[in-house]
Structure 1
Amino acid sequence: MWAWWLNPAVLLAFEAQKVIELRLVRLAWGGREGRDEAVSMVTEKFAAAREATETLMGFGSIDTVVARYREHVAVNVRRLRAA
């Protein structure tokens, strides 16, 4: 039986929930950190979308895009937990 929860896209969805949680807390606290996080969030999303588009336009695979998004998510979790 195939373990659907080991699919990288499913793992990305679960991992992204932690970033959402940590970012919402930071945004809820407001102030300069909240404002900076909001700007960072939007900037990172545009950059990640551009990177994914470039990968796919260069005939890269969806697996490559998902793996790269998971790297971005891991970096954000480490950064947000440290603060």
Structure 2
Amino acid sequence: MYDSWLRLGLDTVRLGLEAQTVVALRLAKLSLGGTAAQIEAERMVTEKMEAAAEAAMTLASGGTAERVVRDYRRKVRANAVRLSRS
């Protein structure tokens, strides 16, 4: 019983740490300005809206908090990789 709660807690902490990395990388990109920064800002807002809608649908259809966190982490890690390359 406690294993699932512990795993969810640790995954949530990992999500927070990974998200901080993405925030730092995005701020660096946005601080440069220009077209790339504008595109990134628009992408950021769009991604957040889509991710929130997906999380709501997951929960509304009987999905678990673990799945929501797992899906968010996958998206955040992909952003970290993408932003690290640019």
Q: TM-score when scaled to structure 2?
A: 0.89
Offset of residue 71 of structure 1: 0.1
* Structure 1 segments of 4+ aligned residues over 3 angstroms from their partners: none
Unaligned runs of 5+ in 1: none
Query: Of the candidates 73, 79, 82, which is equivalent to residue 82 of structure 2?
Result: 79
Sequence identity percentage: 43
Q: Does structure 1 residue 51 correspond to structure 2 residue 54?
A: yes
Once the two structures are TM-superposed, the CA of residue 56 in structure 1 deviates from its matched residue by 0.2
Query: Which amino acid is the alignment partner of residue 9 of structure 1?
Result: T
Question: Partner of 1:18 in structure 2?
Answer: 21
Paired positions, count: 80
RMSD (Å) for aligned C-alpha atoms: 1.5
